[in-house]
């Protein structure tokens, strides 16, 4: 592979020679590989965290990549360790992808060319946590990725570039994540060399268009059957694999709903009640309309077709 070179002007503070990559999860690993493929000499070191308790953990893959490419890897156990690493590496720039700890103003100001991150929304919309999940829950038809400078605010920094993509009616969080990864790839390939050479564009955000999202936890996946079938359908697909899943209860037994479809006709009944079982799945009444449940999973059991384990007349709590 032939790598494009960037001109180095030693006295220009905007020129980036040493990049510290800070990230985790699948997207972080993917972006790390992209910037290394574009200009491997720029990557000074890698920082990730010990997140082995998270089902999305890619720590083993980060270790393998660092070993293969002969790059120093720092694995953090706590947030406060980042300051010491930055003091040791002395990077010109930090790139942050898939990082869930807030970076203090002191650290942000300690790196000459600052910090650059990728956020899974078209900023200033959906600043904050879980923007893709919230976009699907809210029935958005499009979203995107923003490459931007970090500052002491919630995703408020200047934008380098953005890519948008559509969210179709059949998309799940998995397919939306795949679309977002393609956008990240394009943004980095279009802008990384510009960033290194000090020629990246900067555009301030229009704060009057801002929206924010709160953090989500696994227990937030409880389904409210009084809601409409459309809203519940969005709720289910927003939290499907690789996320923990939307769930409900039969008596005291927890059951995750992994796949569902909207029943095409109006349906009147008591919300949460299964009123039909057929080869397509189990039909459950919602506050407005009904859903066809396709794939479900009881706690400590395997996933299976809904019609194999659910019965007519069951009422979810």
In 3D space, the residue among 137, 104, 117, 101 whose CA is nearest the CA of residue 213 turns out to be: 137
- Residues 285-312 have a mean pLDDT of 97
Range 258-294 burial, b when 16+ CB lie within 10 A, else e: bbbbbbeeebeeebbbbbbbeeebbbbbbebbbbbbb
| pLDDT higher at 4 or 241 | 241
**How would residue 14 be classed by pLDDT, with cut points 50, 70 and 90?**
low
pLDDT at residue 9 tops 50: no
Residue 219 DSSP label: G
The pLDDT of residue 10 is 35
CA-angle at 219, arms to 299 and 316, nearest 5°: 60
| Pair 54, 117 in one domain | yes
Whether the pLDDT of residue 11 is over 70: the answer is no
**How far is Cα 294 from Cα 93, in angstroms, rounded to an integer?**
47
Over residues 188-210, the mean pLDDT reads 95
| pTM (two decimals) | 0.91
**117 falls within a domain:** yes
The total domain count for the chain is: 2
Higher pLDDT, 10 or 181: 181
Q: How confident is the model at residue 13 (pLDDT cuts 50, 70, 90)?
A: low
Mean pLDDT of 235-262: 96
- State percent of the chain over pLDDT 70: 96
Pick the last residue of a domain from 153, 181, 212. Answer: 212
Are both 88 and 135 inside the same structural domain?
Answer: yes
Residue 107 and residue 86 in contact, taking contact as beta carbons nearer than 8 Å: yes
Same domain, 200 and 229: no
Closest CA to 56 of 76, 78, 30: 30
Residues 161 and 50 placed together within one structural domain of the fold: yes
Q: Domain containing 223: what range?
A: 218-309
Final residue in a domain of this structure, among 146, 181, 212: 212
1: in domain: no
In the chain, the N- to C-terminal Cα span, in Å, equals: 58
Q: What average pLDDT score do residues 119-130 get? A: 96
Looking at residue 5, what is its pLDDT? 41
């Amino acid at each position: 592979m032939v790598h494009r070179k960037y001109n180095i002007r030693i006295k220009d503070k905007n020129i980036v020679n040493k990049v510290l990559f800070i990230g985790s999860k699948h997207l972080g690993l993917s972006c790390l590989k992209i910037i290394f493929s574009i200009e491997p000499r720029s990557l000074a070191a890698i920082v990730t965290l010990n997140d082995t308790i998270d089902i999305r953990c890619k720590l083993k893959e980060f270790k393998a990549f660092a070993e293969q490419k002969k790059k120093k890897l720092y694995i953090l156990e706590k947030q406060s360790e980042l300051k010491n690493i930055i003091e040791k590496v002395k990077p010109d720039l930090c790139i942050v992808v898939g990082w869930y700890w807030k970076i203090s103003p002191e650290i942000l100001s300690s790196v000459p060319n600052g910090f650059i991150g990728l956020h899974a929304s078209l900023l200033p919309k959906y600043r904050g946590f879980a923007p893709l999940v919230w976009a699907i829950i809210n029935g958005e038809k499009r979203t995107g990725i923003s490459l931007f400078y970090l500052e002491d605010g919630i995703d408020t920094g200047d934008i380098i570039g953005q890519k948008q993509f559509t969210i179709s009616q059949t998309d799940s969080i998995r397919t939306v994540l795949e679309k977002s990864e393609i956008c990240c790839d394009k943004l980095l390939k279009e802008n990384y060399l510009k960033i290194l050479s000090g020629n990246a564009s900067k555009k301030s955000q229009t704060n009057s268009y801002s929206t924010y999202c709160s953090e989500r936890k696994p227990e937030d996946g409880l389904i409210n059957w009084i809601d409409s079938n459309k809203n519940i359908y969005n709720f289910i697909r927003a939290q499907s694999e690789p996320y923990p899943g939307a769930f409900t209860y039969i008596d005291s037994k927890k059951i995750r709903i992994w796949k569902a479809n909207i029943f095409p006709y109006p349906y009147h009944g008591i919300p949460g009640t299964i009123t039909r079982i057929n080869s397509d799945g189990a039909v459950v009444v919602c506050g407005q309309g009904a859903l066809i449940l396709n794939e479900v999973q009881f706690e400590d059991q395997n996933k299976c077709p809904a019609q194999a384990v659910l019965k007519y007349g069951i009422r979810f709590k």
